[in-house]
Structure 1
């Protein structure tokens, strides 16, 4: 079968290789991958790929071999999955606890856009707690996570302010009900909850916008610039603010995938897909994703048509 493997090259991060089909463990199903979605974090890992690492965590396709232990969906079932790695291939072995069944009304493109970004958004909002009537500030908001957080938070009754780099990248967030600003210093405040994923100078600025006793959840560093906090600036800012580190990972992922699928099926969640292309265009798509030239998610089709 064909698989995309890392090259270590900045301008061409992946290349095709002919490899053996994966052999699933007893608790894994073999999935014929119809579509996959790269994540921006994967583009960073591709700059210095670890030996043996096979990229690919967000897939949608068809089970062609059910798990030997009897768990999970049967052969012929359409699924969305979140394997630990190896999803950018014609076939992927996926733990059954990281699969969810797809109804007929959800296509593989939208399904592939759900896993990492959608699971992150769900778990972020659980960390934030009840949002009805609360003011929420979201930085780095124009990516896949940002769109899901905005739609889910506004749907839960939050007043969301989203920070994006440009007006174009904020258009969809405004349509979802967010107030959009392009400089964090224009965000206003105070906010009950801040969801911060930019790092650099953005985190101290976001911290100053939290209300006394509020919460800042730090879940990324998209700027790739370390954060410097001055004790006296914090001392002179809002009192008793909690800074909480967040990382989405930790299975099982199947229940959260099933929740995301159910929200899409009920027309309460709408994946923002900025590009759909044949997987022969994966290398170029990864570069554009890394350089923020794609709004929302990019989805690659292993045997589909380009758009």
Structure 2
């Protein structure tokens, strides 16, 4: 079968790879769509030749699990993998997928997993959000959109930090109360602050907190490590700082994916899709993502016949 793999000098190539070998609790999924994440683009820059990326996929089960668990042949699913999803077929553990109703499209489903799981689990990490003032940096990404919807539905008063006023408009539509261009521009103090930028953003966010506020650090999009001065008493004098990793959660991936699917089906969660393209264009889409040319999720669709995509075997340098 065909799959995208890393090549020399940070490039991607569409390669012939072995068919998946499902474990007893794996189903075999014909991939119909996948969605690259920004973090995956960072990994690709340093990946060894032959590395197979791909976490977020949606498709149809073509072989059930030998254990008898999981969905049946013909059922549509969304899944979050450890890798290898940018391919025609993927072996998927039954505890890493959720079945899709007809009301949720394949493209919307592919946009859900990593960003949606992160946002959903952040709402647990923060504790109860009703009537609390919340500051969110890096809010224009997929996690930010989902978090704003989820937190606003719980009654949070959310101030979003984005560098672009235009992108803030959608966040205000989704339930954010206010937009600012930098943490220092925010008015008042906050019970909870979530930072995904790192670098200089993290100490700036800490200064916005109430004396016993909570700072949840969950990313470093700036690619710069934060430096904290704990003798800076400007704000958050007795604050709690928590490091967050989305995979570290007591709820199973399958249950949380099912919750995201249900919220989407009920029109309470809205994937933000900025681009839909044929999977043959994957390297060019990655290049656009790296250069911040895609707003929202990029979705790569696999056509029923892969003849055209199979011809696109020349490597493309996404950097």
- Both structures adopt the same fold (TM-score exceeding 0.5): yes
* Maintained 8 Å contact 2:5/2:50: no
Aligned equivalents of 2:74 and 2:260: distance in 1? Answer: 21
Residue 205 of structure 1 pairs with residue 204 of structure 2: yes
Which 4+ residue blocks in structure 1 deviate beyond 6 angstroms? none
- Superposition pairs for residues 196-235 of structure 1, below 5 Å? 196-233=195-232, 235=233
Q: Which secondary structure state, in structure 1, belongs to the residue aligned with residue 121 of structure 2?
A: helix
Aligned pairs for 1:207-286 within 5 A: 207-233=206-232, 235-250=233-248, 252-286=252-286
* Residues 31 and 94 in structure 1, CA contact (< 8 A), matched pair in contact too: yes
Structure 2: runs of 5+ lacking an equivalent: 306-319
Q: Which residue number corresponds to residue 71 of structure 1?
A: 69
> In the TM superposition, what is the alpha-carbon distance from 1:275 to its structure 2 partner?
0.7
Distance 1:155 1:186 in 2: 25
1:58-89 deviation line (CA, Å, top 9, x unaligned): 00000000111111111111000011110000
Matched-pair contact (CA < 8 Å) for 1:8–1:47: no
Aligned residue among 148, 151, 154 for 1:153: 151
Label 1:138 to 1:265 Cα distance change in 2 as closer, same or farther (>3 A): same
Pick which of 236-245 and 29-38 moved more. 236-245
Partner Cα separation in structure 1 for residue 8 and residue 246 of structure 2:
26
Aligned: 1:115 with 2:113: yes
> Which moved further from structure 2: 49-58 or 264-273?
49-58
**CA-based RMSD:** 1.5
Check conservation: 1:8, 1:48, Cα contact below 8 A.
no
TM-score by length of 1: 0.95
Aligned counterpart, 1:5:
5
CA 52–15 in structure 1, closer or farther in 2 if over 3 Å, else same = closer
1:278, 1:304 within 8 Å by CA — same for their partners in 2? no
Q: How many residues were matched structurally?
A: 302
TM-score by length of 2: 0.91
- Please list the CA deviations of residues 81-120 of structure 1 after superposition, one character each: whole Å capped at 9, or x if unmatched: 0111100000011110001000011110000000000000
Residue 45 of structure 1 corresponds to which residue in structure 2?
Answer: 43
Structure 1 distance, partners of 2:211, 2:49, is: 46
Deviation at 1:9, TM superposition (A): 3.8
Question: What is the rounded CA distance, in whole Å, between the counterparts of 2:68 and 2:197 in structure 1?
Answer: 43
CA distance in 1, matches of 2:48, 2:202: 29
CA distance in structure 2 between the partners assigned to 1:73 and 1:159 by the alignment? 39
Q: Which residue of 1 aligns with 2:314?
A: none
